[in-house]
Structure 1
Amino acid sequence: MELIYQTLIKAFMQPAVLVLGDLMIDTYLRGASTRLSPEAPVPVVDISSHTSVLGGGANTAANLRHLGASVTFVSLVGNDYGAELAGELLQKEGIRDEVIRCDTRTTMIKTRVIAGQQLLTRYDEGTEVPLDSACEAQLIAVLEREFPLHDAIVIADYNKGLLTPGIIAALERLNQQHPKFVAVDARKLQQYKGLQPALAKPNFREMMAMLELPEQPCSKAQQLEEMGEAIYAVTGAAVTAVTLDEEGALIFLEDKLLCHTAARAVSNPNVSGAGDTYVSAFTLASLAGANAPTAAEIAGAAATVAIRKNNTAHCKQSELMAYFSMKDKYIRDVEELEALCEMYKSQGKKIVFTNGCFDILHSGHVSYLERAASLGDILIVGVNTDESIKRLKGPERPINHLNDRVQVLAGLGAVAHVIAFGSGQDDTPESLIRIIRPAIFAKGGDYSRESLPEATAVEEFGGEVVLLPLVPDRSTTLIIKRIYTTPALKVAEG
């Protein structure tokens, strides 16, 4: 099944997607607070970092771009500093900009002040009333030009005044003239029923509000599982994906419940922008040919990757592919290795790397690998290829071929991933170290820092070389020697 997911995700690079939505900028002021202000009993935050990222509909565009699609973003901003910043951020993300500057509006910026891990306050600025007739006419002109040029349209309506009845009517007309895959993520989905979208993505609270139902203190899924007809009457969508936070998502095919996809457990999730990630991945998976349940699984995985990050986050195509590779401990190429390491580091995970032949796995190996794993969060093991071992140990080695050695290593709970290495030019793991950039490079106590040529590469990237004590009288060489010198074992071997 993982191979199917990988094939679909690789196809994300093919479509061109037009995103229409409210442009916001999410700004994060981070620092430390050790005192109260003398003017009032409020904390003083000494700011150490100032970060601005795309939010709202622009975050949906960023997610689509990072997942591989070619993206054009259409929106409105003011004629101010925020507009300049938005343009820079869109350009940085590689998003084609069809954003109109409107003198009667100011750009929406949401600023969060954070001390340590604690959000202290958020202050918002920007125009959130419906756009005027002049700006509306400009926006419709852009849509008429851009709509036919794209494979899909994603509408990200945060109810900030961009999507007026006139704009929605123009979308309906354009979609009749040039039918497209239309996905809608909106606070008031019922306004888009006339579009007959291919995908609608409300969250639980939005859906309950549209159905005018009170929330009950029971399972979210139970409250909506039998509401297929009412949900379809509101959305008019071919597929409606109702996201339920920690309960996953309910997927409806028109008015019938198709499936309930589970959510992945995430400690300390940052859910800001998770819905943008979900609708982006669902759209691209559908365009790649996935059925609704498969698209939902991919979308859920993308959202899981995003909520493990700080700030308003997105999911990269490489990270999504890496997510589906995690279940398979054997890493087949360096591209997959790089994507996995990038994903783990974005989650704040500490990577430990070690390497060896691991020809005949014994208790010394197991003890050593468990100690190595305890030094961090993720243990990656490099294992020499058969040809590499022959060059290092002689023509009679290895005893066990690479596939067997990998399978045994993968069976150990301490080992997160295994990758083969070794070439006629270099039998050291230096090339892997330069990709992994581990926090810790673990080796056995029979080595010294000076005897490891790859140690320089570890330290070059800020890593540490840690030498671990070995279990006495445990080695592959001793085991092989015992086999060849013990008569009973020699007879059994024959």
Structure 2
Amino acid sequence: MIEPAATRSNLTNLIHHWQSLTVLVIGDVILDSYFVGNSDRLCQEAPVPVVAIQQRQDFPGGAANVAANIASLGAQVFLLSVIGCDDEGERLQQVLAESKITAEHLIVSNEHRTLVKQRVVANNHLIVRFDYGSTKSLSSTLEQQLIGRLIQLFPRCDAVIISDYHYGTLTPRVIQFLAKLQAQLPRPIAIDTKQLSAYQAVNATAIKPNYFEAIQLLKLAKQRHNRAEQITPYGDRLLQLTGARIAAVTLDAEGAIVFEQGESPVRTTAQPVPQQQTSGAGDTFIATLTLALASHIPTHMAAVLATAATAVVVQQPGTTRCTASALCQSFNHLNSQANQSFSTQGTNE
């Protein structure tokens, strides 16, 4: 084990290096809204709670939350997506600005409705969620605009994150252009998607399926316990089906299991935390993993860092992100618990 002071120094140097990186995030952006209040009675018309709303909170969601995590960890970010010419789109741009993310690469269209997820929380319990916005594939006009900006931005970034919630931004043609650009100008690409097989030709550096996405692709039955043990024999198959070099399967309370071509599987463990109404922990994981891989640190340590960042956000309600200082604290806590060592070999100074 490296001495704690050395560990902190190495991690500080790594995070300082992230300030020199630029990451392109492309995908489905969402406005995450929370209406928070109290309830002490039922409605007369139906047996449902009456919630007295006391506060509204808006956050960047989806690909926008990935971008917010990248920015919070110190790197520069290009966010490429489509939003509507509507109040929700304006509000999303405002919360992005509050996170120091420029909206200059968001395509604003009258034919598109901004994606929104509205949650009602009463007495610290999620009561209901309302989803609305455009979920069909982009029109040919919007698709071409997106591809044009993708061609411009791809050479200017050090890494790419694809955040595909299957809401229509990442069309087959957009994915084809991503594959072409990656073949011409290879760089670290991490993918978080509900349609894993669609990206096989992209030659991804890493994919981040959750447990349910992984077993769906592998055609396995759902298990409540011992999910890592269930997934472990299928690591090579998962890499083959997705064309990725690394597959990090997130397992919620069980942590994550990471497969890499030619390497033994690596298991990371999650810290036990109180149950919170948390959204976007997977966005934090892939943002941190990508920055670590773009800095050329070993995959197993990139996974540990991503797990440490996720441990920060799952302790907070709402759609949250991990800061560089919080990551340092969380990693040092995990390091002291698990007797992990840390190295930044390969990081370009």
Check the 8 A contact 1:228/1:256 in 2, yes or no: no
Q: Residue 194 of structure 1 contacts residue 236 of structure 1 at CA under 8 Å; is this kept in 2?
A: yes
Which residue of structure 2 aligns with residue 65 of structure 1?
A: 71
Give SS of 2:107's match: strand
- SS of the aligned residue for 2:39 comes to strand
Verify: 1:203 aligned to 2:214, yes or no.
Answer: no
| Pair 1:274-2:289 in alignment | no
Distance 1:217 1:311 in 2: 25
Query: Which residue does the alignment assign to 1:301?
Result: 308
Structure 1 residue 284, shift from structure 2 partner:
0.8
- Note if 1:46 corresponds to 2:55: no
Aligned equivalent of 1:31: 37
Q: Secondary structure at the match of 1:28?
A: strand
The structural deviation recorded for 1:224 is: 1.0
Equivalent position amino acid for 2:50 in 1 = V
CA distance in 1 between partners of 2:334 and 2:178 (Å): 42
Are the structure 2 counterparts of residues 84 and 233 from structure 1 closer, same or farther at C-alpha, using a change threshold of 3 Å?
same
User: In the alignment, is residue 19 of structure 1 matched against residue 13 of structure 2?
Assistant: no
Q: Which residue number in structure 2 is paired with residue 319 of structure 1?
A: 326
After superposition, the C-alpha distances for 1:388-428 in whole angstroms (9 at most, x for unaligned) are xxxxxxxxxxxxxxxxxxxxxxxxxxxxxxxxxxxxxxxxx
Contact 1:246 1:265 in 2 (8 A): yes
In the alignment, structure 1 residue 89 sits paired with structure 2 residue 95 = yes
Alpha-carbon shift at residue 5 of structure 1 (Å): 3.2
The SS at the match of 2:163 is strand
Match of 1:172 in 2: 179
| Bigger RCO of structures 1 and 2 (CA < 8 A, at least 6 apart) | 2
* Residue aligning to 1:136: 143
Max radius of gyration: which structure?
1
**Judging changes above 3 Å, is the alpha-carbon distance between structure 1 residues 328 and 249 closer, same or farther for their aligned structure 2 residues?**
closer
Question: What are the ranges of 5 or more consecutive residues in structure 2 without an aligned counterpart?
Answer: 337-349
Is residue 199–residue 242 contact of structure 2 (8 Å, CA) maintained in 1? Answer: yes
State the distance in 1 between where 2:142 and 2:231 align: 39
The 5 Å alignment of 1:433-444 reads: none
**What amino acid is aligned across from residue 143 of structure 2 in structure 1?**
E
Tell me, what secondary structure is at the counterpart of 1:84? Answer: helix
> Given that residues 184 and 200 in structure 1 are in contact (C-alpha distance below 8 angstroms), is that contact kept between their aligned partners in structure 2?
yes
Amino acid at match of 2:183: Q
Q: Percent identity?
A: 36
Q: Please say if 1:241 is aligned against 2:248.
A: yes
The normalised TM-score by structure 2 is 0.90
Q: Which residue of 1 aligns with 2:231?
A: 224
Match of 2:340 in 1: none
Q: Which runs of 4+ in 1 moved over 6 A?
A: none
The one-letter amino acid paired with 2:100 is G
Question: Are the aligned partners of 1:229 and 1:255 in contact in 2 as well (CA < 8 Å)?
Answer: no
Distance 2:78 2:101 in 1: 6
In the alignment, does 2:15 pair up with 1:9? yes
Find the residue that maps to 1:19 and give its secondary structure.
Answer: strand
Gap change, CA 1:325 and 1:217, over 3 Å in 2: closer
Q: 1:160 is matched with which residue?
A: 167
**Paired residue total:** 329
Q: Secondary structure at the match of 2:321?
A: coil
Please report how far the alpha carbon of residue 7 of structure 1 lies from its aligned counterpart in structure 2 after TM superposition: 2.9
Q: Deviations over 1:97-122 (max 9, x none)?
A: 21111222211111111111111111
What is the alpha-carbon distance in structure 2 between the residues aligned to residue 123 and residue 255 of structure 1? 44
Displacement of 1:322: 2.3
RMSD of equivalent CA atoms? 1.7
SS at match of 2:216: helix
Classify 1:114/1:191 alpha carbon distance in 2 versus 1 (closer, same or farther; 3 Å): same
One-letter amino acid matched to 2:121? I
The residue aligned with 1:110 is 117
- SS at structure 2 position matched to 1:293: helix
Structure 1 residues not aligned, in runs of 5+: 330-494
Aligned amino acid, residue 107 of structure 1: T
1-side partners of 2:11 and 2:196: how far apart?
29
2:319 is paired with a residue whose SS is: coil
Displacement of 1:65 in angstroms is 0.6
